[in-house]
Copies of this chain bind each other. A is one copy, B any other.
Amino acid sequence: MTYHAINFAHKLSLFREHWQPKVIAEMNDYQFKLVRIHGDFIWHDHKETDETFIVLEGVLRLDFCDGAVQLSPGEMFVVPRGVQHKPYAASALPRATSGCDCRKPIKSGVEANWLRRG
């Protein structure tokens, strides 16, 4: 039988739009998603599940009510269930957002986002 690896770069080449996660694999009742991000997402939480972020390109900032964490390629973070957070990736121009004191230019991000399905 022929088996094929899932290649992140290839999958990313298949779409350009931001904030529209694409499911690239499933494991039990979880989905692995790739998403391109740019600017702010909305504040939200997930009542029933933790959420994992891994950055492939660019820089992702996750804002929390009491701080923030910045992720570069090769870095991950798990947001616990019920914790309000707001993903953000800056464009080439600085952009100020609430709860953020990071104003240096950073690139748009490409993020692998893993979340329980449903």
Contact = CB atoms under 8 A, between A and B. Distances in A.
Interface of A: 1-9, 24-28, 30, 32, 49-52, 56, 62, 64, 66-72, 74-78, 81, 114, 116
A72 B5 contact: yes
Contact of A116 (B7, B28, B70, B76): B28
3 nearest CB pairs, A to B = A3-B69, A5-B75, A1-B67
B52 A3 contact: no
A4 B69 CA distance: 6
Contact of A78 (B27, B67, B74): B27
Given A3-B69, A6-B77, A7-B75, 14 more contacts: A1-B66, A3-B68, A6-B76, A7-B74, A8-B75, A8-B76, A9-B74, A25-B52, A26-B50, A27-B50, A27-B114, A30-B30, A32-B76, A32-B78
